[in-house]
Amino acid sequence: MAVQFILLAIGAYLLGSVPAAYLAVRWSRGTDIRTVGSGNVGAANVLRAGPKWLVVPVAIFDIGKGALIVWVAQQLGLGATQQVTVGLLTIIGHNWPVFLRFRGGRGVLASLGIILILCPWLGLIALVFAFSFAPLKQLSLGVLIAYISLPFFSWFLSGPLGIDIDARLPVTLGMIAIPVIGIFKRLIAPRTPLSESVPLGELIINRLLFDRDIRDRKAWLSQETPGADSAEDIIDQLD
C-alpha cells in the first residue's frame, strides 16, 4: 500500500503538471500562452491566446485531473488522508508544473475536481458561493468566500454532506490546505506595469479580494486584451 501511495503521489504531481491550456494554444496557434494576455497558464488566457472553444476541453481536463487522482486513490483503497494528499499534489503540480519551469495556473478547477470526488455536496456548495457573485462581476470574491467556507462546511456539516465522520479531520485539513494554496498563488504573482506604483498593502488587498492588482476592473481587463467581456472575466477566476 505504501508503494502504491508513493507512485500515485508522483503521478498526481506529474498529471497536475500537464498544462492543458499551454498545449491547446501551442497546438492550435503555435503560440506560447505565457507570452499572451495575462501570461497565465489557464482557461482564461485560452480565450485570449487561442480559439475560444478550446476553453471547454481545457476546463474539463483541469477539473478531470483533480477528480481522477482522488478517484484512483479511492479505488486503490487508500485512506482519506492519502486521498487528500494526492489531491493537493495535483493542485501543486497545476500551479507549479515541472514541465513549464514551475509557472502554472491558479488551480481553482483542479481543486473543484478534487472536492467533487471527496464530497459532491461540498463541491456544489462551493460552486453556489462562487457563482452567486458572478452577476456582480465579482466572481473572484465569490471564489475567496467559497475557499473560506470549505473547512467550515466539511467540519460542521459532515453528516448531511455525506462525509464519513472518521474522515472529517483529514478532509477538513485538506479543505484548509486548498484555500491556502489558492490564496498564496494569488498573492505571489509578479507585478504588472499597471501596479508598479500601487502600495504593497493595497496590492495585497486587491489580489486577495479581486484577484487583480488594481481596483479598476475595466482597466485591468483592457491591459490583457482589448474589449474583454464579462464572460472572460468570469473564466479568468477559474484557471
Predicted local distance difference test score (pLDDT) of residue 239 = 58
pLDDT tens column, 29-82:
777 777 776 667 777 677 776 677 888 999 999 999 999 999 999 999 999 999
Predicted local distance difference test score (pLDDT) of residue 31 = 77
Predicted local distance difference test score (pLDDT) of residue 238 = 54
pTM equals: 0.86
Alpha-carbon torsion 54, 56, 59, 64, what sign? negative
Which residue positions in the chain have pLDDT lower than 50? 161-162, 165, 225-232, 234-235
Query: Are the C-beta atoms of 85 and 117 separated by less than 8 Å?
Result: no
CA distances from 131 to 93, 141, 149, 187 (A): 25, 10, 14, 22
